[in-house]
Structure 1
Amino acid sequence: MNPGLIRSQSPVLLVGGGDCPTDLLAPLLARTQTRVAADGGAAALLSAGVVPDAVIGDLDSLTPEHRARIPAARIHRIAEQDSTDFDKCLRTIEAPLIYAAGFLGARFDHQLAAMTVLARRPDRPCLLVGREDVVALCPPELALDLPVGSRFSLYPMAEVGGTSRGLRWPIDGLRFTPDLVTGTSNETDAPRVMLRLDAPKMLIILPVQALAALERALLEAPSRWPARA
Structure 2
Amino acid sequence: MKSLIVESAETVLLVGGGACEDATLSAALDRLSTAIAADGGADRLLALGRVPDALIGDLDSVSEAALARLPPDRVHRIDEQDTTDFDKCLRSVAAPLVEAHGFLGARLDHSLAVLNTLARHPHRPCLLVGPDDAVALVPPVLDLDLTPGTRVSLWPLAAATGRSRGLKWPIDGLTLAPDGITGTSNEALGPVTLAPDVPRLLLMLPVASAPALARALVAAPRWPAP
Band of TM-score, shorter chain: over 0.9
Q: Which residue of the partner structure matches residue 85 of structure 2?
A: 85
Shift of 1:37: 0.3
Q: 2:215 is aligned with what amino acid?
A: R
Q: Which residue of the partner structure matches residue 225 of structure 1?
A: 223
Q: Percent identity?
A: 57
Shift of 1:31: 2.1
Structure 2 unaligned regions, length at least 5: none
> Does residue 15 of structure 1 match 2:15?
yes
Shift of 1:73: 1.1
TM-score (norm 1): 0.97
Q: Is the 8 A contact 1:20 1:44 kept in 2?
A: no
SS at match of 1:160: coil
SS at match of 1:175: coil
Alignment of 1:210-221 (within 5 A): 210-221=209-220
Q: Which residue of the partner structure matches residue 171 of structure 1?
A: 171
Shift of 1:16: 0.5
Shift of 1:3: 1.9
Q: Deviations over 1:51-84 (max 9, x none)?
A: 0000000000111111111111110100000000
Structure 1 unaligned regions, length at least 5: none
SS at match of 1:166: strand
Distance of 2:161 and 2:29 partners within structure 1: 35
Q: Which residue of the partner structure matches residue 30 of structure 2?
A: 30
CA RMSD of aligned residues (A): 0.7
TM-score (norm 2): 0.98
4+ residue segments displaced more than 3 Å = none
Q: 1:227 is aligned with what amino acid?
A: A
Q: 1:84 is aligned with what amino acid?
A: T
Alignment of 1:21-170 (within 5 A): 21-170=21-170
Shift of 1:20: 2.0
Distance of 2:8 and 2:48 partners within structure 1: 22
SS at match of 1:117: helix
Distance of 1:183 and 1:197 partners within structure 2: 13
Alignment of 1:171-190 (within 5 A): 171-189=171-189
Q: Deviations over 1:164-211 (max 9, x none)?
A: 11000000001111111110110012x210111100000000000001
Q: Is the 8 A contact 1:5 1:92 kept in 2?
A: yes
SS at match of 1:219: helix
Number of paired residues?
226
Distance of 1:30 and 1:210 partners within structure 2: 18
Distance of 1:21 and 1:147 partners within structure 2: 25
